[in-house]
Amino acid sequence: MPNQKHPHKKSLHEIDGISQPDFINQDSIQNIQKFRRKPLNTDALIQKLLQGDIPSLSKTITLIESTNPKHQEQAHKIIQSCLPHANKSVRIGITGVPGVGKSTFIEAFGMYLTSIGKKVAVLAIDPSSSISRGSILGDKTRMEDLVKNENAFIRPSASGESLGGVSRKTRESIILCEACGFDTILIETVGVGQSETAVHSMTDFFLLLNLAGAGDELQGIKRGIMEMADAIVINKADGDNMDRARNAKLDANRGLQLFPMKESQWKPRVLLASAYYRTGIAEVWQLLENYFSLTKENGYFETNRNNQNAYWLKETINEQLLLNFYENNVIAEALSQEEKAVQNNEKSPFAAANELLDLYERIVKSM
Amino acid sequence: MPNQKHPHKKSLHEIDGISQPDFINQDSIQNIQKFRRKPLNTDALIQKLLQGDIPSLSKTITLIESTNPKHQEQAHKIIQSCLPHANKSVRIGITGVPGVGKSTFIEAFGMYLTSIGKKVAVLAIDPSSSISRGSILGDKTRMEDLVKNENAFIRPSASGESLGGVSRKTRESIILCEACGFDTILIETVGVGQSETAVHSMTDFFLLLNLAGAGDELQGIKRGIMEMADAIVINKADGDNMDRARNAKLDANRGLQLFPMKESQWKPRVLLASAYYRTGIAEVWQLLENYFSLTKENGYFETNRNNQNAYWLKETINEQLLLNFYENNVIAEALSQEEKAVQNNEKSPFAAANELLDLYERIVKSM
Enter the ipTM.
0.72
User: Residue B217's pLDDT is what?
Assistant: 45
pLDDT above 90 (res B334): yes
B67: in domain: no
- pLDDT of res. A189: 85
Same domain, B120 and B219: yes
Query: Helix, strand, coil proportions of chain A in percent (round to 5)?
Result: 60, 10, 30
The answer to which of A22-31, A43-52, A126-135, B36-45 has the lowest mean pLDDT is A126-135
State the average pLDDT over residues B192-204: 83
CB within 8 Å: A342 and B310: yes
Provide the 10 A C-beta neighbour count for residue A333. 10
A343 and A276 fall within a common domain: no
Sign of CA pseudo-dihedral A312, A315, A317, A323: negative
In a domain? residue A82: no
Q: Are residues B151 and B290 in the same domain?
A: yes
Task: Verify that A152 and A245 share a domain, yes or no.
Answer: yes
pLDDT tens-digit map of A51-86? 999 999 999 999 998 888 889 889 989 998 998 898
Looking at residue B34, its pLDDT comes to 59
Express as a percent the part of chain A with pLDDT over 70: 80
Residue B255 pLDDT grade (very low, low, confident, very high; cuts 50, 70, 90): confident
Domain boundary among A276, A298, A320: A298
Distance, CA of A286 to CA of A295 (rounded, Å):
14
The model's confidence at residue A284, banded by pLDDT at 50, 70 and 90, is very high
Beta strands in B134-255, from DSSP E residues, in sequence order: 152-154, 184-189, 205-211, 231-235
* Mean pLDDT score of chain A: 83
Per-range mean pLDDT, top range of A2-11, A181-190, A252-261? A181-190
- Predicted confidence at residue A367, as pLDDT, reads 80
pLDDT at B291 > cutoff 60 = yes
User: Is the pLDDT confidence value at A101 over 90?
Assistant: no
**Residues pairing with B152 in the sheet:** B120
Domain termination site, one of A298, A321, A349: A298
Is residue A224 within 8 angstroms of chain B, CB to CB? yes
- Looking at the complex, does the CB of residue A334 fall below 8 Å from at least one CB of chain B? no
- Residue B259: what pLDDT? 79
Whether residues B312 and B243 share a domain: the answer is: no
CA distance B126 to B188: 8
User: Which residue range is the domain that position B362 belongs to?
Assistant: 307-366
3-state secondary structure of A75: helix
pLDDT for A35 equals: 55
Same domain, A215 and A361: no
B159 vs B304, more confident: B304
pLDDT at A15: 45
- CA–CA separation, B212 vs B210, rounded Å? 7
Radius of gyration from C-alpha coordinates of chain A: 22
* C-alpha distance from B227 to closest chain A C-alpha (Å): 9
User: Taking CB atoms and an 8 Å limit, are B313 and A346 in contact across chains?
Assistant: no
Q: Is there a domain that residue A39 lies in?
A: no
Residue at A27 is within a domain: no
What values do phi and psi take at B113, rounded to 5? Answer: -60, -45
Average pLDDT of the residues of chain B: 83
Amino acid present at A79: I
In whole angstroms, give the CA distance from residue B206 to residue B93: 5
Quick: pLDDT tens for A200-222.
999 999 999 988 764 544 555 55
Which tens digit of pLDDT belongs to each residue from A235-249?
999 988 899 899 889
Q: Is A309's Cβ below 8 Å from some Cβ in B? A: yes
Residue B219 has pLDDT above 70, yes or no: no
Task: Give a yes or no: residue B70 inside a domain.
Answer: no
What span, in angstroms and rounded, lies between the C-alpha atoms of A266 and A262?
Answer: 6
Task: Say if CB A229 and CB A287 are below 8 A apart.
Answer: no
Whether residue A221 is contained in a domain is answered as yes
Evaluate whether B262 touches B127 at the Cβ level (below 8 Å).
Answer: no
Domain count, chain B: 2
Domain limit, last residue, from B256, B276, B298: B298
**Residues A318 and A206 reside in one and the same domain:** no
Residue A353 to residue B316, Cβ atoms within 8 A: yes
B75 located within any domain: no
Whether residue B345 sits in one domain with residue B251? no
SS3 content of chain B, % helix, strand, coil (to 5): 60, 10, 30
CATH code for position B205: 3.40.50.300
Quick one: pLDDT at residue B160?
61
Q: What is the mean pLDDT of residues A264-284?
A: 95
* Residue B32: predicted pLDDT: 60
Please check whether residues A179 and A218 belong to one and the same domain: yes
pLDDT of residue B40: 64
Same domain for A114 and A252? yes
Q: Taking CB atoms and an 8 Å limit, are A79 and B348 in contact across chains?
A: yes
Residue A7: what pLDDT? 44
Decide if A72 is inside a domain.
Answer: no
Once rounded to an integer, what is the mean pLDDT over residues A144-157?
89
Please tell me whether residues A176 and A203 are part of one structural domain.
Answer: yes
pLDDT one-digit tens code per residue, B9-61? 444 444 444 454 555 566 766 666 655 555 568 999 999 999 999 999 999 99
Measured between CB atoms, does A83 come within 8 Å of chain B?
yes
Q: Do A309 and B345 touch (CB under 8 A)?
A: yes
Q: Which CATH number belongs to the domain containing residue A329 in this structure? A: 1.10.287
Q: How confident is the model at residue B248 (pLDDT cuts 50, 70, 90)?
A: confident
Give the per-residue pLDDT at A60.
94
Mean pLDDT over residues B276-295, rounded? 97
Asked if residue B317 and residue B220 are part of one domain, the reply reads: no
